[in-house]
Amino acid sequence: LAKTTQPISMDSYEGQEVNITCSHNNIATNDYITWYQQFPSQGPRFIIQGYKTKVTNEVASLFIPADRKSSTLSLPRVSLSDTAVYYCLVGDGRAGNNRKLIWGLGTSLAVNP
């Protein structure tokens, strides 16, 4: 399983774009990159998943360079409600292997007024 490294914390202001970078130097060919968001007193919530290049949904974008050794979660125009912990996870994309993912400490994002 690929180990991931991401900043422990980040600060931003409302309306700004926030980019959280995760490094995963040992990513394997079959590995996908997945990001989850967790609010206090709640379970994590899936945000986005990708394999290579760029993925965009209604919540965020995920940028993955050609070597796939890192990825960047981009949150456009954050609001106070985006204050949460963001987890970067890397692992085999086969269904059911979720349990083998290693959840680190995540990045604690604080959005200020």
Nearer to another protein, 45 or 69 (CB): 45
Cβ contact 33:64 at 8 Å: yes
Q: Is 95 in the site for another protein (CB under 8 A)?
A: yes
Stretch that binds another protein, among 10-18, 54-62, 69-77, 102-110 (CB under 8 A): 102-110
- Which residue in the block uniquely carries the two structure tokens 């959840």? 103
Q: Is 110 in the site for another protein (CB under 8 A)?
A: no
Torsional sign, CA 31, 4, 68, 34: positive
Q: Is 40 in the site for another protein (CB under 8 A)?
A: no
Phi/psi at 80 (5° precision): -55, -30
* Chain residues in the site for another protein (CB under 8 A): 32, 34, 41-46, 49, 87, 89, 91, 93-96, 98-106
